[in-house]
Amino acid sequence: MGEDGDWEDVKEDVDNDGDDRVGDGDEEMNENGDEAPGEDGDGAAKKKKKKKKKKTGAAAKLVKGTPSNKAEGRFLNEGSFTDYYVAHGQTEPPTLPVVNLFRGEDDEDPSRKGLPTFPQGEIQEHPLESNSHRVSSEELRAADRLQQDLYDKLRHASEVHRQVRHHAQSFIKPGIKLIDMCERLEETNRRLVQECGLERGIGFPTGCSLNHVAAHYTPNSGDDTVLSYDDVMKVDFGTQIDGRIIDCAWTVSFNPKYDPLLEAVKEATNAGIKAAGIDVRLCDIGESVQEVMESYEVELEGKTYPVKATYHKCIRNLNGHSMGPYHIHAGKSVPIVKCDDQTKMEENEIFAIETFGSTGRGYIVEDMECSHYMKNFHAPHVPLRVPRAKKLLAHINKTFGTLAFCRRWLEREDGGSATVNKQGGRQEKYLGALKNLCDVGIVQPYPPLVDVKGCYTAQYEHTLILRPTCKEILSRGDDY
Ligand code: HZT
Ligand code: MN
Ligand code: MN
């Protein structure tokens, strides 16, 4: 059971045109390269119900810059999702910095006059009886108010993440080149966060790992990989404000045969989120996650083969993690299987809760060409003599600091940030130097993490903060 190939045995003919690798190419595009609304890009994403078009003057066709409430992509709540930010003045496609949409005068607190108010995440109570006093404790509410600045940054970055991913969900279709997808997503991220060097920007490279690749794949330049109808893609991207990173991911698929896998992983992540809280043991979170993940039975109905039932499993050597300023992995790992880690979560900690399910072995190894890199947060200062390595390190220090980066960004005209590298920052012949920095331990490579070939992996991830009074799931959206 659960052996590789279970999924391959099953050929469901959900695809009706037999042309699932590359988009038909006849979609109507507006000047921004966006598909015009009203046209269904591919057979798989077809909506069960057609939404009535709003009749407003010239509303038959959407023009760049006009508001819309169309929600695209599978699993999205049609209509409702973008309403609120379009109501706040965002364009469709989104072009405006999110900060401009929330400049509120609607705050009762006079000390916050003129400051933008970003939407809160989902609020949950901390589990455990010992936390029941937290909601109403005056002392803890005061402690909570002292952290408003931190919450503002996290909520701002979260709102950028929601709007960027909503836009991405509208253009991710079979046939898209992954490198184009990443560049478009990252460009939207830069624009909506109003990129400003290390102050505000992208949190880490856009992961778009396919199938048995679970994490840490983004195309290097020259990689022509195209997304196909039968792929299972983990889109994992980040937004940061003053180093406060929102790390949040979902899984894209078109073929409904993967729905039970995606559903199981989504619910497993939600179980991990629900179990998290002040004084909760990390091992108990792992157990909750595993229980939900493995409760989902997958039924595969083949045409010629008998029905096989199997269970997907957690990828036991992948984890969630605590996060600190400019520090994606601040020290604590959140297991997604039963284990014996008695470490507890603590007040004010920020966690990325992520779970991975797999139809394969449920165990990943590093493989394939590396794209992701990050300075070792605790690396001591090492003076370098090799000129290329010295120059590359200076570039990394000013452009990314201790945030993760990828090769594609080093090769951009701006070297990864137009605000930092005003005279241009493209790195040339840098690969040797990058390897030197890895060899001496200043930079850490993060190669793709893969399960066995032929299997499928899925991921869902959210960022939350353990406030003194409650737990806030910052990156929660109407989509997942
Ligand atoms: C490393 C490098 C990056 C952190 C988790 C992760 C994507 O697997 C302890 C637990 C970006 C992130 C990271 F470029 N990693 N979340 N989202 N990857 S991790 C890790 O290295 S360390 C998990
Ligand atoms: Mn992530
Ligand atoms: Mn993460």
Q: For the residues of 388-418, what is the DSSP string, one character each?
A: HHHHHHHHHHHHTTTS-EEHHHHTSTTTT-T
67 vs 151: which has the higher pLDDT: 151
pTM of the model: 0.84
CA of 310 to the centre of ligand 3 (A): 27
Q: Is 381 a catalytic residue?
A: no
Distance (Å, whole) CA 194 – CA 183: 16
Confidence of residue 31 (pLDDT cuts 50, 70, 90): very low
pLDDT band at 299 (very low <50, low <70, confident <90, very high): low
Ligand 1 pocket, residue 480 CB under 6 Å: no
Architecture of domain 372-446: Orthogonal Bundle (1.10)
Q: Which of 230, 451, 461, 472 is catalytic?
A: 461
**461 annotated binding-site participant:** yes
Phi, psi of 334 (to 5 degrees): -105, 105
Question: What single letter denotes the amino acid at residue 3?
Answer: E
Residue 455 has pLDDT above 50, yes or no: yes
Residues 242, 161, 120: CA angle, nearest 5 degrees: 80
Q: Quickly state the pLDDT bin for 308 (edges 50, 70, 90).
A: low
CB distance 359 to 312 below 8 Å: yes
Q: Is residue 290 predicted with pLDDT exceeding 70?
A: yes
Residue 479 annotated as catalytic: no
Instruction: State how far the Cα of 424 lies from the Cα of 393, in Å rounded to an integer.
Output: 16
State the burial class of residue 310 (Cβ atoms within 10 Å of its Cβ: 0-12, 13-18, 19+): middle
Residue nearest to atom 13 of ligand 1 (CA): 328
pLDDT tens string 419-430: 999 999 999 999
Residue 341 marked ligand-binding: no
CB 465 within 8 Å of CB 471: yes
Nearest ligand to the C-alpha of residue 404?
Answer: 1
pLDDT in tens, 90-113: 999 999 999 999 987 555 677 788
Which of the pair, 60 or 442, is modelled with greater confidence? 442
Per the CATH hierarchy, to which homologous superfamily does domain 84-106+113-369+451-473 belong?
Answer: Creatinase/methionine aminopeptidase superfamily (3.90.230.10)
**92, 186, 354, 472: the active-site residue:** 354
3-class DSSP string for 331-368: CCEECCCCCCCCCECCCCCEEEEEEEEECCCCCCEECC
pLDDT tens string 404-424: 999 999 999 999 999 999 999
Question: How high is the mean pLDDT of the chain?
Answer: 85
Residue 197 has pLDDT above 80, yes or no: yes
Verify whether ligand 1 is closer than 6 Å to residue 372 (CB atom): yes
Tell me: the pLDDT tens digits for 165-196?
A: 999 999 999 999 999 999 999 999 999 999 99
Q: Give the Cα separation of 206 and 350 in Å (integer).
A: 21
Read off the pLDDT of residues 36-71 as tens digits, 9 standing for 90 and up: 333 333 333 333 222 323 222 222 222 333 333 343
Highest mean pLDDT among 24-28, 84-88, 430-434: 430-434
pLDDT tens profile 313-368 = 999 999 999 999 999 999 999 999 999 999 999 999 999 999 999 999 999 999 99
Domain residues of the chain, as ranges?
A: 84-106+113-369+451-473, 372-446
* d(C-alpha 211, C-alpha 310), whole Å: 18
SS3 content of the chain, % helix, strand, coil (to 5): 25, 20, 55
